[in-house]
Amino acid sequence: MCPDRNNSSLAIGTTTGYRLFSLSSVEQLDQVHESNEIPDVYIVERLFSSSLVVVVSHAKPQQMNVYHFKKGTEICNYSYSSKILSIRLNRQRLVVCLEESIYIHNIKDMKLLKTILDTPPNTTGLCALSINHANSYLAYPGSATSGEIALYDGNTLKTACTIPAHDGPLAALAFNSTGSKLASASEKGTVIRVFSIPGGQKLYEFRRGMKRYVNISSLVFSMDSQFLCASSNTETVHIFKLEHLTDSRPEEPPTWSGYMGKMFQAATNYLPAQVSGMMSQDRAFATVRLNISGQRNICALSTIQKLPRLLVTTSDGHLYIYNLDPQDGGECVLIKNHSLLGSGKMEENKENDLQPPVPQSYAATVARQSTVPSTSTMPGYSEDGGALRGEVIPEHEFATGPVCLDDENEFPPIILCRGAQPGKAKRS
């Protein structure tokens, strides 16, 4: 279960197949497509809001199937030497991750461009691919025993650098929308770090907690890269704000809390460097208390109806939508709960409709223009096969030789999906 690459739609694998949803508003969750052709789907990845869907099932865990779901046709399929653990894609590359190897395909014609062999054992298929096709960096564990990140340039097909991110093995990786920042967490789950790309310099360090180790299941940036969300197997979701504090901040009014803050800051000068550094690290800007614990969940930060929202999908088939106050943070407010496993039209949990609507004044203060161009309205990628509402798509939104999924000339031409050489991925 995962949001798509621009957080406007949702894809879930089920025991009977897979489902695709589109989230146009807080109240409206539309089922775009449902397929029951392949049972026990555990990987389903949709290329933004296009008709291209990549599916892997437990019935054939070594085979990747690529579909044009609107036409109900299979574009091609490839088989690999072992179980497929994860798939990542953008408009330029499709990446298939196995336990000890990674395959990079050109998404334009599905040709295999590169096989990265003998990668450190990666039992969870952890990897991240930048959604910015002009900056197609791939990150994956560079070690099975330490938190080293291997950074690979998916366009030039060359290793960019290695980043010594954590002491322990990695548990989560995520790029921001432009591919200029990379967030990481280790298996301890106490510290989250953000690095510059491709240089690998540490930019931010956030402490999720000091009391207990947790399994970070989801790391995600907001589209404008101002926020970073982390969820785990606990009931708390943390949202951090990426900002630099300077000495030019206005003087705080003389309050008891302000006085204690200054005393605390002064006290850190007399503490060991390791302790004072830990205490001065940024804490969560906003949090969410889920009513469930122990379930795997995946989060996304999105702008819906001009307001920032936190989306949380859980393994029991629910989508929770929260309001995020980008100015003051604090506890996020649950405003909607959608069921993803209802039959036919989506069934919704009406209990959460009791939350009062957000005042217009709040909308006016928090509504912002995204600094990243929209990725859901590309002609040939959009649901209606053309630009929505007459929007003009900038040239930089297109990959070289863009994939036109709604043309009669099918993508990719089946004749280009030739069998691979021995030892590499092969089309069955």
Which of these ranges, 65-79, 103-117, 283-297, 306-320, has the smallest mean pLDDT?
Answer: 283-297
How far apart (Å, rounded) are the C-alpha atoms in residues 303 and 370?
9
Helix and strand counts by DSSP (H, E) for the chain: 3, 31
pLDDT top residue among 209 and 1: 209
Tell me the two tokens of residue 417: 């999906």
pLDDT top residue among 278 and 426: 426
How far apart (Å, rounded) are the C-alpha atoms in residues 207 and 277?
11
Q: What percent of the chain has pLDDT over 90?
A: 54
- Is a pLDDT exceeding 60 seen at residue 389? no
C-alpha 323: how far from chain center = 19
Q: What is the pLDDT of residue 3?
A: 52
Tell me the two tokens of residue 152: 């690979």
**pTM for the whole thing?**
0.75
- Long-range Cβ contact pairs of 189-192 (< 8 A, separation 24 or more): 189/213, 189/214, 189/215, 189/216, 189/232, 190/214, 191/166, 191/281, 192/216, 192/219, 192/228, 192/230, 192/240
Cα angle: 32, vertex 38, 44; to 5 degrees: 55
Domain count, the chain: 1
Confidence of residue 241 (pLDDT cuts 50, 70, 90): very high
- Is a pLDDT exceeding 90 seen at residue 350? no
Q: What is the mean pLDDT of residues 319-341?
A: 93
Which of these ranges, 70-84, 168-182, 274-288, 321-335, has the smallest mean pLDDT?
Answer: 274-288
Q: What is the pLDDT of residue 28?
A: 86
**Would residue 291 count as lying in a domain?**
yes
Q: What is the pLDDT of residue 111?
A: 94
Q: What is the mean pLDDT of residues 63-79?
A: 95
How far apart (Å, rounded) are the C-alpha atoms in residues 303 and 367?
9
- Long-range Cβ contact pairs of 81-88 (< 8 A, separation 24 or more): 81/423, 84/43, 84/56, 84/125, 85/122, 85/123, 85/124, 85/125, 86/43, 86/124, 86/125, 86/126, 86/127, 87/43, 87/45, 87/54, 87/56, 88/45, 88/127, 88/128, 88/129, 88/138
Query: Which residues make Cβ contacts (< 8 Å) with residue 341, sequence separation at least 6?
Result: 14, 317
Query: Which residues make Cβ contacts (< 8 Å) with residue 259, sequence separation at least 6?
Result: none
**Would residue 304 count as lying in a domain?**
yes
- Is a pLDDT exceeding 70 seen at residue 102? yes
Tell me the two tokens of residue 425: 């991925």
Confidence of residue 74 (pLDDT cuts 50, 70, 90): very high
Q: 244 with 251: CB under 8 angstroms?
A: no
Residue recorded with tokens 């979701």: 237
C-alpha 417: how far from chain center = 29
**Would residue 273 count as lying in a domain?**
no
Q: What is the pLDDT of residue 76?
A: 94
Query: Which residues form the domain of 332?
Result: 227-244+282-341
Q: What is the pLDDT of residue 414?
A: 38
DSSP 132-143: -GGG-EEEEES-
Q: Encode burial over 178-195: b for 16+ CB neighbours within 10 A, e otherwise.
A: bbbbbbbbbebbbbbbbb
C-alpha 172: how far from chain center = 10
How far apart (Å, rounded) are the C-alpha atoms in residues 209 and 170?
17
CA distances to 78, 126, 159, 199, 209 from 119, in Å: 20, 12, 13, 22, 31
How far apart (Å, rounded) are the C-alpha atoms in residues 333 and 7?
19
Q: 392 with 374: CB under 8 angstroms?
A: no
**Would residue 259 count as lying in a domain?**
no
- Is a pLDDT exceeding 70 seen at residue 411? no
CA distances to 127, 224, 288, 373 from 394, in Å: 29, 18, 36, 8
Q: 94 with 50: CB under 8 angstroms?
A: no
- Mean residue pLDDT across the chain: 76
Which of these ranges, 87-101, 285-299, 324-338, has the smallest mean pLDDT?
Answer: 285-299
